[in-house]
Amino acid sequence: MNKRIYLWGLFLLIFSPQATRAQETVNSAVLAYISSYRELAIREMQRSGVPASIKLAQGILETEAGRSDLVRRSNNHFGIKCKSSWTGERVYHDDDARGECFRKYEAADESWKDHSDYLRTQPRYASLFTLDPMDYKSWAYGLKKAGYATNPRYPQILIKYIETYNLNDYTEIALGKRPPLDDMAASSPMTSPEQEGTSGPRYQALPGMPDSSAGSLTRAKESYPGGEFRINDTKVIYAGAGTSLLALAMDKDIRLEWLLDFNDLPSGTDVLSEGQLIFLQRKRKHGRPEFHQVMDGEHLYDISQQQGVRLESLMHMNHLSPGMQPAIGSTLYLQRKAPERPALAVVTAPGNPVQTVPESPETPVVAVREIRHVVQAKETLFSLARKYEVGQDQIREWNRLGSTDLRVGQELVIFK
């Protein structure tokens, strides 16, 4: 981290009441920084759970409100040093010692994302994510206790910024507890169209998220009641594209990891890229109807959500393994074990027809190899699909990915 104690002169400008004229200059720089990065702070909180107020305060402090030599040379907004795991570009800067190695980013948003991921993946910061995100004081002192910075006044400075500039407002916006500010309306998280007119609480949707009108899982919101309802005697809501699962979990007083488990979503899922059903209780092992006929565009995950049946139970009852997709028109058993596996669809590249493989003794058995891939820097869903010669949709289906975003160190399963 950039542990350099803040320039004493800058400290005086911010905190000395005698420095009124100079303070106006500093305040304008801080306000400009907040205006530039507040929406990114909101998006990153919704993605990772790091409070927007903390990210903004750290960014202001570590970059001297965007004016430090390090940030100008590297787009490094949080003073993250190279460490042994860093394989990207780097710059050298005097900090605790001369010529220390710092990470260099092509753009500021890469730095903001890397900072969130760093806090999420380092065990020493794990306790922070058990705190209330509105409790910025505990977060500030927790960062210092975990060793983020050597400056003994680091927590107090963060708290001062948060309280002086009302940075906790942006945490509330990220949580959906208050609407975006008037001058953020054009580009800030807004309520998803699917949530208009519903009786339940509204959660924040990110700008640029796709329309949730396509696909069986993301059918029109009008198909479902507003607010909470029940499927298979289990509480559920319809959540629109861009919904923050962290905000939803907090609003419903459910631990985020439980919410992900209830919905068969992988750890680390943050923001929904498409609208879908979200269960607020664990789904049942058996469905209410006895059978389900597979429709065009349905995947196993879609069916498990529609019927309120656990995905692993659905697969077990129908002799299915990860990566298998039942063919259109095939029948799935929802209350008891099927006598045989249903006909399977071979999913080819996106856009190509889906071939049906009938279940018969003559059908050749194909050995499927499971590959565990750990995501590296700059890898994307597209590049991995090309590398392993599979479809991007297949990778998302196999790993139940809520979006196309990948994070460094994330483990994916690939079937070949």
* Residue ranges covered by each domain of the chain: 8-183, 189-282, 292-363, 370-415
What's the one-letter identity of residue 191?
A: T
Q: How many CA atoms lie within 13 A of 366 on its CB side?
A: 12
CATH 3.30.60.50 matches 370-415: no
Inter-CA distances, 10 with 1, 38, 63, 158, 361, Å = 19, 22, 12, 14, 78
pLDDT of 295 reads: 82
pLDDT at 250: 86
Task: For residue 414, count CB atoms less than 10 angstroms from its CB and return exposed for 0-12, middle for 13-18, buried for 19 or more.
Answer: buried
| Alpha-carbon distance values, 139 to 60, 78, 156, 242 (Å) | 16, 16, 11, 26
pLDDT at res. 182: 63
Give me the pLDDT at residue 184, please: 64
Percent composition of the chain: helix, strand, coil (DSSP 3-state, to 5): 40, 15, 50
Q: pTM here?
A: 0.44
> In tens digits, what is the pLDDT along the chain, a chain of 416 residues?
544 434 433 443 444 443 333 343 347 888 889 999 999 999 888 888 899 999 999 999 999 888 888 889 999 998 888 877 778 888 887 766 677 888 898 888 999 998 998 888 888 898 898 888 899 999 999 999 999 888 889 999 999 999 999 999 999 888 877 787 766 643 333 333 233 333 333 333 332 222 333 334 444 444 577 788 888 889 999 888 788 888 888 888 898 889 998 998 887 777 887 788 999 999 999 998 888 888 877 888 889 998 999 998 999 999 998 878 888 888 899 999 999 999 887 644 444 444 444 444 444 444 456 788 888 887 888 788 778 777 777 788 787 787 778 888 888 888 77
What are the start-end ranges of the H helices in 151-244?
Answer: 154-164, 168-174
CATH architecture of the domain formed by 8-183: Orthogonal Bundle (1.10)
CA–CA distance from 153 to each of 11, 31, 33, 61, 100 (Å)?
11, 22, 22, 12, 22
Report the pLDDT value the prediction gives residue 20, as an integer from 0 to 100.
37
Question: How far, in whole angstroms, is CA 364 from its chain's centroid?
Answer: 40
pLDDT of residue 391: 75
Tokens (6 digits) for 1: 């981290």
| HSE, side-chain direction, 13 A CA sphere, residue 85 | 10
pLDDT confidence of residue 201: 33
319, 368, 408: which is closest to 121 by C-alpha? 408
Report pLDDT for 205: 32
Contact 58, 158 (CB under 8 A): yes
